[in-house]
Chain A
Amino acid sequence: MISRRDFLQASMATTAIYGASGFGKWSRLAAQQSLTQDKLLEFDTFGNVSLIHITDIHGQLKPIYFREPEVNLGVGGAKGNVPHITGADFRRLYGIDDGSASAYALSYDDFGALAKSYGRMGGLDRISTVINAIRADRPDALLLDGGDTWHGSYTCFQTEGQDMVNAMNSLRPDAMTFHWEFTLGTEKMQEHIASLPFAALGANIYDSEWDEPSDLVEPYKFFERGGVKIAVIGQAFPYMPIANPRWKFPEFSFGIREQRMAEMVDEVRAKGAELVVLLSHNGFDVDKKMAGNIKGIDVILSGHTHDALPEPVLVGETIIVASGSNGKFISRVDLDVREGRMMGFRHKLIPIFSDVIEADKAVTAVVDEQRAPYLDQMSEVIGQTDSLLYRRGNFNGTWDDLILDALIEEREADIALSPGVRWGPSLLPGSDITREDIFGVTSMTYGEAYRTEMTGEFLNIVLEDVGDNLFNPDPYLQQGGDMVRVGGMSFSFDISKKQGSRVSNMTFLKTGEAIDPAKTYVVAGWASVNEGTQGPQIWDVVESYIKRKGTVVVEPRQSVEILGT
């Protein structure tokens, strides 16, 4: 069997692109217990262009814990390939030692114990230090934000994204694309975008009425760096009006629009681009397919699916870089661009270990200024957890199990549904749960917790529908989230089957009986994409539940049997 490393080298030998990744270095450093800022940032400046990629921060201004997924299954061509490799398999693939800092940052096992050794990750002030260090090497490095930035925290909710706009501006990005930002609503988006001192990009952001490119953003922007003419093309999340409530931004249409992207690549090449960078919120598997179908993109900076990959993935002559989420990592990509083409690259996924990397005090001040008006409210302790609370995983996570329990008890429901989003920091066993922690996993502009009735048949349709958004073998039909989380009911799910036959054995846990297609069940849930959804905000439901329990215990559950892997 050809290993991934052999494959990477083999493909590079055939394409005249050569590359290197700085990943191995911090992996070894960690094993030697000699993690220092200088060593984390060590990088032999290469070529003539540097790109800095950060994506999917989800409003996390301060350092957090974030456990990577245990279950992240790929189907079709993605089966068994990164990013669908987790835990020990992932560590083996990249030569990561168990218990090392890399193991903690990039995989899931022993998370609670390792978190105590290696501490929180991220924080915009630490990220700023790393960006400043890269700019010291290469003053004209491009800083590109892949979006999902103005969403996901208490302050972000209260200020409608203004906290993140202010804090990110202090890092001086050069361009950005979007996803959850649009859930702030059209008017707020227009206001924020008009205020940005950098480019707002999205070649696939269209005017929904005329089905033509929207004038809210630009499709691409040219930069001249290191004597190289660089085109950065933006691609927003394609399925926003489906995955998120389109009534909040009815003026806009999105979609993959592959033909449009091919036209944009041709257009920027015709205008003299020597390097074409796609700043993408497609999700990793969609980016892989797009890189295969459209020639002429040199680098895809991939966001949305929250994958952190220690090395770029090569598709033809395109390198795809995935930089994780929640501020845990940034990627530095140095490129050698000569004679109008990319001749080589050097890459490093830089982990933001917050206890190792010093804070940039100027940015700490900006961050604290955003938080100050809300500090009392959000730092209030609501309860404690005896369990590790995390979200990532295709089918469940303990944070979601807690939310489902809260929905069933507080809303007196038979069955609960919770959206399979991939954002939300983790909490270690023995921690206080603050209001800020609850907002970290629930904050959104459509958080109303509904209570309704559904037949068993309709529940099955919902599970099959969401399941196909995740496990359709065609990446262009995937929306990039995880499976809807279900409380009060167990089921089997066969990822190898087609829509309509993946879900079986639906069992009502209250009685142990099979779910009756004709029977009506009381269902509580939140984050409905339908306009006019009524109910209390989900964070209030969860707060009231935790307050009542005092200390919560949520051990990982086996209520979903996964088949066909």
Chain B
Amino acid sequence: MNLSRRQTLALGGAAVTVTLLPISFAQAATDDAAAIIAEFTGGAAVGEGDIELTAPEIAENGNTVPMKMAAPGAASIMLVATGNPTPRVMVAHFGASAESRLSTRIRLAGTQDVIAVAKLADGSFIQSSKSVKVTIGGCGG
């Protein structure tokens, strides 16, 4: 069988339980990235590990920037846009049978680092970050 990624995504969607938690604006607006991550981890140390964050080097459109996160075995993944007025973008919780990977699009207020933090099944945390540039554009040769 020859599955396209589109079909795979559709199939995968059925098996994955993903919950996007809406974030309260008033609270998040004043948070900074470190505090938000600390809240997510309960202050536990965040290490490196098998977590992948895929984002473009330069956003084609800052209003809708594709992000992919994957952390095999993760119970949940949080995405933080450190330079946004509301840095906490989302937390995804994965069911036991899920692959713990997710694609979404987010809005970025400007050039900044985005950070994905995964909570693993054993309660430990790992993270990966990526710098994404947002530019006015024009003038390419």
Contact bitstring A194-232, B, C-beta under 8 A = 1, else 0: 000000000000001011110000000000000000000
Please tell me if the beta carbons of B139 and A419 are within 8 angstroms of each other in the complex: yes
**Band of interface residues on B:** 20 to 34
Q: B135 touches which one: A242, A253, A259, A528 (CB < 8 A)? A: A242
C-alpha gap A393/B34 in the complex (Å): 44
A469 on interface, CB distance cutoff 8 Å:
yes
Among listed B19-27, B55-63, B71-79, interface-contacting one: B55-63
Please tell me if the beta carbons of B141 and A255 are within 8 angstroms of each other in the complex: no
A477 on interface, CB distance cutoff 8 Å:
yes
Q: A477 touches which one: B4, B61, B133, B137 (CB < 8 A)? A: B133
A462 on interface, CB distance cutoff 8 Å:
yes
A528 partner residues in chain B, CB cutoff 8 A: 138
Contact bitstring A470-508, B, C-beta under 8 A = 1, else 0: 000000110111101000000000000001000000000
With A211-B66, A212-B4 as contacts: A242 and B137 at CB distance below 8 Å: yes
Please tell me if the beta carbons of B6 and A240 are within 8 angstroms of each other in the complex: no
Please tell me if the beta carbons of B139 and A484 are within 8 angstroms of each other in the complex: yes
C-alpha gap A213/B9 in the complex (Å): 14
Closest B residue by C-beta to A420? B139
With A210-B6, A211-B103 as contacts: A243 and B139 at CB distance below 8 Å: yes
CB under 8 Å from chain A, chain B span 1-25: 4-6, 9
Number of A positions contacting B (CB below 8 A) = 44
Please tell me if the beta carbons of A468 and B135 are within 8 angstroms of each other in the complex: yes
Please tell me if the beta carbons of A242 and B58 are within 8 angstroms of each other in the complex: yes
With A211-B103, A477-B133 as contacts: A242 and B141 at CB distance below 8 Å: no
A421 on interface, CB distance cutoff 8 Å:
yes
A527 on interface, CB distance cutoff 8 Å:
yes
Please tell me if the beta carbons of A482 and B141 are within 8 angstroms of each other in the complex: yes
Please tell me if the beta carbons of B58 and A477 are within 8 angstroms of each other in the complex: yes
Please tell me if the beta carbons of A246 and B61 are within 8 angstroms of each other in the complex: yes
C-alpha gap A76/B61 in the complex (Å): 27
C-alpha gap A466/B133 in the complex (Å): 12
A-side residues, CB < 8 A to B, are 179, 208, 210-213, 237, 239-244, 246, 253-256, 259, 304-306, 419-423, 461-462, 465-466, 468-469, 476-477, 479-482, 484, 499, 527-529
Q: Top 6 nearest A-B pairs by Cβ distance?
A: A243-B140, A481-B141, A241-B60, A422-B141, A242-B137, A419-B139
